[in-house]
Every structure is written in C-alpha cells, then in structure tokens.
Amino acid sequence: MTNFKHILFPVDFSDRCTGAIPFVEAIARHHGAKVTLLSVAHPFYAQGFEGTPIIDPQQMISGVKAELDGWLPGSFSGLQVERVAEYGDPARCVVDFVGDHDVDLVTMPSHGYGPFRQLLLGSVTAKVLHDVHCPVWTTPHTGEPSDREHLVIRKILCAVDTAPSNAALMRAAADLAKGYGASLRLVHAVPGIEAWPERQMDQEFEQTLRENARSAVMELEKAADIDVPVCVGAGTVPDVVREEAVQHGADLVVIGRGALQETMGRLRTHAYGIIRHAPCPVLSF
C-alpha cells in the first residue's frame, strides 16, 4: 500500500512555497509522516564560479538556518518536523538529501509565473523531477497560490500509457485512492485528427484508435487487478489529461515518470507537460 513516512519539503520562503504548506501538512498527517524542511544557501562568487565566495559559507548557512527556524512557527503543529539548512546548488542538495536520508516523497511548488512562465518549470523542480527516484508531488503550475479546493483528495485521475509497466502505476494509484477513500479513473490520450495528414486520418480512424487504446488499457487493468472507469481522449497528452481533470473535478493527477531517466525518454515531455497544464496537484511516481 502506498505510504509515505518521510517527506522532504524544500523551502525557499516564496509565496508559492508558503501556499503549499497546507497540502504538505495534509499529506503528512494522513500518512503519519515526518517532514523535513530543507533550505539551501546559494553561494555567491566574486569572479564567477571559479572565484572565491563573497560571503563565508558557514555564515550563510547560519543565516538561512535562523530564517528557517523562525519561518511560520505555527505551521506543522503536532507533526514531527526537522529543519535543515545546507549550502550549495539547491537542486543538487535536494537530490543528495533524498538519496542519503530515506526520503520517500518530495513536495515542491512548480513555480509558474505569468503567460510565458506557463511554458516552463522552475529549474530546481525540473532537475529534481529528473534526478530523484522517489515520488514527487507538485503544486498546480500557475501564478496563483495553491487552490485549497483540492486540499481534500476525493477524486484521483491517473494518466496511463499502454506499456506493460503501467500496470504497476495503476496499482499504486488504486492503493492511494483506497487510502484516501477517493474515487479513481484512468485517462489515456490518442493522437487527434490535427496530428495527422488529412489523407491519413479521419473520424473513423480516430475512433478505431480510441477503441484499440481502451482495450489495451482495460487489459492492463486486469493485470493490475483493478476495475475503474477509463477515459480515452484525442489530442496532446497534457491537453487530454487537463481536460479530463477539469471535467471530472480531479483533486490529484497521478502520473509515471520512469522514462525520465532514459535519454530523450518519451515520458519526459509528457510528464513536464502534464505538470505545466494540470489544474490540480500532480503526484509523479
């Protein structure tokens, strides 16, 4: 059964980071998890990265630790919390901490701001998604604070491919839904008509793709020993997932990102795209 016992919450003291606190608290309380707040002091160099740090590293760590210790003292009440300050590259520190301290969930804002920033993930979040091997929870990729409408997880949407490995993802999503008493549905995307030359694609062919995909996903359901509704949409993966999440009022989107570790892995673009477009938090395994 999916159960998180040690949650890492990287803290940069931003409004979006503060907005994520109720979600991190809710996840930790539900799972009875320890929460580690990690803040990283950035080195400043006199002459580029080859120069000498302008400020003594230990002094910077002490300053960040003091700020972290005094940061929103009323938060995480009743939870086991550790506050840690480190020095270096933020993404590298997060990845190393996960590997060294048995972290089984990382919770991060995705830092999207304004129309152009909707196209990008924050660099630290992107690196963490790529490099860590534990699940990562991210907030909706918008310029607004996290929407508390999704604080209580009632509906989960799991985006799946037709690869055999997706049976494990389905089981993980089903375990999560059972633990929260939430409903679960699956969504799969097939190429829309606009993705093919007109002479090769028509409505009948699209319908055939949908039916074949539905059959393949239902076979995976059997392998995963689950029986939940399956939605098959036509279009880009991020757009189809977002549309289904909005239509069905999903509080959490679950995705797999195993191919992120492969060179030009197919799921790399899809995982990032889903996170960029999702109207609710995304949990990627």
Q: Is 131 in contact with 233 (CB distance < 8 Å)?
A: no
Amino acid 201: pLDDT: 54
Q: What is the C-alpha to C-alpha distance for residues 176 and 180, in angstroms, rounded to an integer?
A: 6
Q: Is 137 in contact with 107 (CB distance < 8 Å)?
A: yes
pTM of the model: 0.89
For the segment 76-82, the average pLDDT, to the nearest whole number, is 96
Q: What is the percent of the chain with per-residue pLDDT over 70, rounded to a whole number? A: 82
Taking residue 258's Cβ as centre, other Cβ atoms within 10 Å add up to 17
Q: Is 236 in contact with 273 (CB distance < 8 Å)?
A: yes
Amino acid 208: pLDDT: 87
**Token duo for residue 165:** 């490995």
Q: Domain extents for the chain?
A: 1-145, 147-285
**Are the folds of 1-145 and 147-285 the same?**
yes
Q: What is the C-alpha to C-alpha distance for residues 82 and 163, in angstroms, rounded to an integer?
A: 39
Summarised one tens digit per residue, pLDDT across range 117-146 is: 444 457 788 889 889 999 999 988 655 555
For the segment 192-196, the average pLDDT, to the nearest whole number, is 59
Q: What is the percent of the chain with per-residue pLDDT over 90, rounded to a whole number? A: 60
For the segment 191-209, the average pLDDT, to the nearest whole number, is 68
Q: Is 168 in contact with 160 (CB distance < 8 Å)?
A: no
- CATH superfamily entry for domain 1-145: HUPs (3.40.50.620)
Select 147-285's CATH number: 3.60.20.30, 3.40.50.10140, 3.30.420.40, 3.40.50.620: 3.40.50.620
Half-sphere exposure of 223 (CA within 13 A, CB side): 15
Residue 16 binned pLDDT confidence (cut-offs 50, 70, 90): confident
Q: Is 54 in contact with 44 (CB distance < 8 Å)?
A: yes
Q: Is the pLDDT of residue 265 over 50?
A: no
Residue written as tokens 């995976």? 220
Beta bridge partners of residue 283, listed in sequence order: 137, 254
Amino acid 125: pLDDT: 86
